[in-house]
Amino acid sequence: MEQKGMLIVLSGFSGAGKGTVVKELTKDDNYRLSVSATTRKPRPGETHGKDYFFISKEEFEDMIRKNELLEHAQYVENYYGTPRNYVQSQLDQGYDVILEIEMIGALNVKTKFPEAVLLFVTPPNAKLLRDRLTGRGTEDDTTVAKRLARASEEVEFMDKYDYIVVNDDLQTCVNEVKSIIVASRNKATNNINFINNIKYELNEIAKGVN
Amino acid sequence: MEQKGMLIVLSGFSGAGKGTVVKELTKDDNYRLSVSATTRKPRPGETHGKDYFFISKEEFEDMIRKNELLEHAQYVENYYGTPRNYVQSQLDQGYDVILEIEMIGALNVKTKFPEAVLLFVTPPNAKLLRDRLTGRGTEDDTTVAKRLARASEEVEFMDKYDYIVVNDDLQTCVNEVKSIIVASRNKATNNINFINNIKYELNEIAKGVN
């Protein structure tokens, strides 16, 4: 099998528990979590280089110009993006790299890295999704409306993802994600060198026999 | 997630250990092994309905005419084929069905069941493949030549399979096959109803909010 790592892109509905899934995954030493760059200010408790790389607008636009970002997008006047260098170096070393990013970014990554694996995390059914979006009535109307608008947008692109992962029982969900990563490594399209090597060897044997 | 079972098609090089892999898989109650029909005579120890359905040439041709076979092929004057009824009924009940069949049959199944998952089992490297094909010099030339011709044919279609599975350590190999089955169940294309249901529900909530 080929040695290069897999690029795993994780998105999902608000409240689906993406963060917890990612946390569980990164307990395994084979996975590396990509850290995004952003121009927004750090919130209390957030660490530079761990939660985000907090950089200035000028630095961010410089990275765009130098093609140093895998993807980037703008939300509420702030830039968010994935630095390419870290991702590429980890993949080259054979680590699987996890990007936890929004839909637009995810679909952009897929156009640049067609072999990237796109996963969408969702609650197990629409009723639970509704409960999480509406906060069972405890959230104010603006928050509910915002979450709803976002989810309605996301659901239209859900079928552009490669895989749908239900987060009902956390451990089951994490195991499914791990299975998807194993399966992706076994895809024939990710093992062209292996196949060509076997072809070559069979040819050599045939020469020896005839 | 949808409840229907997955159709798993397993092929592989001679000596790659397909049979052992299948045996391990069917220890798990969720998997059902499809039994092929054939017109060849049973060998000592083979049981009708377990190893094969041993039927006459007339019966087989009748099944072809009635479209009761998922795929069929002819080798050395004998017919081999996969009865459709058993496979379909197990899938409908939510069981994963494993077909251990030859390349031609496998590719035929894929055209009829595009959602079928095609796995090709191979030794870990070309040197081991050669050893198994040549029997380390203990086999007669005709046997070696026959295996080699077959492998050379198969290798040309290896990239038509969805997944390549290396059988080096048996348990690793079996776990990879299981991961591939889990991943297949999570494919977005296999969860269109689930996605549509969520879309519908989000629409309903939006109506209630506005």
- Cα(B177)–Cα(B18) distance, integer angstroms: 11
Q: What is the pLDDT of residue A194?
A: 93
pLDDT at B58: 96
Tell me the longest C-alpha to C-alpha distance in chain A.
80
Nearest to B186 among A152, A165, A191 (CB): A165
Give the per-residue pLDDT at B30.
86
B103 vs A contacts (CB less than 8 Å)? none
Q: How far is B136 from chain A (nearest CA, A)?
A: 13
Selecting from A120, A180, A188 the residue whose C-beta is nearest the C-beta of B183 gives A180
Nearest to B179 among A183, A197, A209 (CB): A183
Those residues whose C-beta lies under 8 Å from the C-beta of residue B184, and which sit 6 or more positions away, are A183, B6, B8, B117, B190
Chain B partners within 8 Å of A136 (Cβ): none
For B156-170, the pLDDT digits (tens) are 999 999 999 999 999
Structure confidence at residue A141 (pLDDT): 79
What's the pLDDT score for residue A137?
Answer: 67
With a cut of 90, say whether residue B137 has pLDDT above it. Answer: no
Span between the terminal Cα atoms of chain A, in Å: 30
CB contacts, 8 Å: A172 with chain B? none
- Tell me which chain A residues have a C-beta less than 8 angstroms from the C-beta of B178: 179
CB B98 within 8 A of CB B10: yes
- Asked whether residue B164 is assigned to any structural domain, the reply reads yes
Interchain CB distance below 8 Å, A198 and B166: no
Residue B148 lies in a domain: yes
State the pLDDT at residue B11.
Answer: 95
- B171 falls within a domain: yes
- Rounded distance, CA B8 to CA B120, Å? 11
Handedness of CA B181, B177, A23, A170 (dihedral sign): positive
Cross-chain Cβ contact A200/B126 below 8 Å: yes
CA A104 from centre of chain: 11
Give CA angle at B48 (B43, B49), nearest 5°: 135
Question: For residue B179, is it within any domain?
Answer: yes
Q: Please indicate whether residue B143 or residue B178 has the higher confidence score (pLDDT).
A: B178
- Sequential DSSP letters for A194-207: HHHHHHHHHHHHHH
The beta-carbon neighbor of B180 closest among A144, A155, A183 is A183
Q: How far is B34 from chain A (nearest CA, A)?
A: 23
Given a cut of 90, is residue B4 above it in pLDDT? Answer: no
Q: Is residue A27 part of a domain?
A: yes
What SS3 class is residue B160?
Answer: helix
Provide the pLDDT for residue B131: 81
Cβ proximity of A104 and A114 under 8 Å: no
Cβ neighbours of A120 in B, within 8 Å:
188
The Cα of B6 is separated from the nearest Cα of chain A by a number of Å equal to 15
Q: Which domain holds residue B129?
A: 7-34+96-209
The CATH code of the domain that includes A147 is 3.40.50.300
CA distance B156 to chain A (A): 8
pLDDT for the residue A133: 74
Q: Is residue A56 part of a domain?
A: no
* A159 in a structural domain: yes
Q: Which of B144, B160, B188 sits opposite A209 (nearest CB)?
A: B144
Question: Among B164, B169, B190, which would you mutate to test the A interface (most chain A Cβ atoms within 10 Å of its Cβ)?
Answer: B164
Can you tell me the distance from the alpha carbon of A164 to that of A154, in angstroms, rounded to the nearest whole number?
13
Contact list, B141 vs chain A (CB under 8 Å): 209
**Tokens standing for A207?**
């020469």
Contact B2, B191 (CB under 8 A): yes
Structural domain contains residue B62? no
Residues of A with CB below 8 A from B146's CB? none
Structural domains counted in chain A: 1
Average pLDDT over residues B65-84: 91
Those residues of chain A that have pLDDT short of 50 are: none
